[in-house]
Amino acid sequence: MSSHPNLLDANNSVLLLVDIQTRLSAAMAAAESQQMSHHCERLLQAAALLDVPVIVTEQYPQGLGPTQANLLERLPAAAQVFAKTGFSCCAAEGFDGTLAALGRKQIVLAGQETHVCVLQTALELQHRGYQIHVLTDAVCSRHAEHKAFALQRMQQQGVTLSCHESVLFEWLRDAKHERFKAISGLLR
């Protein structure tokens, strides 16, 4: 049976967490930041269960600090973390080569800020031939309207907007999957 090409496949996906750093998160609306963080925890747990590679970026970590501790604790051992000063993740030294070496074409994108680093990363990766899925419930900006305009702009450019639960069930594809109980349990 042939699948729609825009459905995510765990064997062709990479989870990319963009700049989810404590100091940066503190500037976001608390509820939205907490939601983003919680959903990213679930994504990391599912990625570990399904062997989906994880890449993390940190914007100017000397000033904004490291990735949030709750997410660092859940990073798979093979996860790669890139420091950057450019807004697009593609500007981080070694990022493009690391991503290309994984040989996967679907990028599941979460992080902050939606209208800056997430937007620029999504468009640059799309331009490089990757299929981009931005998770609307796992990204945030300091201002709600900035997030809304960025999501609209990305969608106009052909980026897929989705949510973290859709990703989990697309990665599984079937309730008979051996990891179904573990991953569906993350949603309780």
CA 170 – CA 43 distance, rounded (Å)? 12
105 is catalytic: no
Catalytic member of 40, 84, 140, 147: 84
Catalytic member of 19, 40, 89, 140: 19
CA of residue 156 relative to chain centroid, distance:
19
b/e burial code for range 54-75 (CB count within 10 A of at least 16 → b): bbbbbbebeebebbbeebeebb
140 is catalytic: no
**Measured CA distances, 163 to 88, 102, 119 (Å):** 21, 23, 16
In eight-state DSSP terms, residue 138 is E
**Residue owning tokens 């997030």:** 147
CA 46 – CA 86 distance, rounded (Å)? 29
40 is catalytic: no
- DSSP string covering 30-50: HHHHHHHHHHHHHHHHHHHHH
Catalytic member of 40, 89, 90, 117: 117
CA 79 – CA 90 distance, rounded (Å)? 17
Catalytically annotated residues:
19, 84, 117
